[in-house]
Amino acid sequence: MDLKAYIRDVPNFPIEGVIFKDITPLLRDPAAFDHAVGALEAYCRTRRPDVVVAIEARGYILAAPLALRLGAAFVPARKPGKLPWKTIQEAYQLEYGVAALEMHEDAIAGGQRVVIVDDVIATGGTLRATRRLVERLGGEVVGMACLVELTFLNGRQGLDDVELHAVLTY
């Protein structure tokens, strides 16, 4: 299945000069959505995760069914102030600003194998911040997976020794 046919370019979103990769057409098609989650599952299953950590917000859409398919726990990484329990926080640089993510301080037990999932990797800032959160909690990041990789932004280069799998590249 050609999943690129289900990704829409939205120019100048969220700011002027950015071309946003919109996955909502893919989500609207059950067969395409199932195929995308299956493609992520094929990679993530080889990593044998105990936990799937998803990055707010579109990462949740992909990671929740993925975690169920893998029989793994689902842990959200959220924007500050959105989680109801004690959290740890990590700031990061976006291609168009600065942001931060939080996770519950009890979300991951020491030694758990973790895959981090998001919809898109651009500069890699959110993946790096999420990795730091997981490692601060004692988890072992055994892989990262995204539906879309924007290769021209070189986000993969900043991930060091953690393997990244992207279903689609632009």
| Range 3-169 classified under CATH 3.40.50.2020 | yes
pTM above 0.75, yes or no: yes
Look at residue 94 in the predicted model and tell me its pLDDT.
73
Look at residue 95 in the predicted model and tell me its pLDDT.
62
CB 27 within 8 A of CB 61: yes
Q: What is the pLDDT along the chain (170 residues), one digit of tens a residue?
A: 999 999 999 999 988 998 999 999 999 999 999 999 999 999 999 999 999 999 999 999 999 999 999 999 999 999 999 999 999 999 998 766 789 999 999 999 999 999 999 999 998 999 999 999 999 999 999 999 999 999 999 999 989 899 999 999 99
Look at residues 35, 66, 42, 39 and name the one whose alpha carbon lies nearest to residue 52: 66
Token pair of 101 as six digits: 């993510």
Q: Which position among 56, 95, 105, 163 bears the catalytic label?
A: 95
For residue 95, indicate whether it is catalytic. yes
Look at residues 156, 158, 142, 144 and name the one whose alpha carbon lies nearest to residue 55: 144
How far out from the chain centre does Cα 127 lie?
7
Q: Residue 85 has what DSSP assignment?
A: S
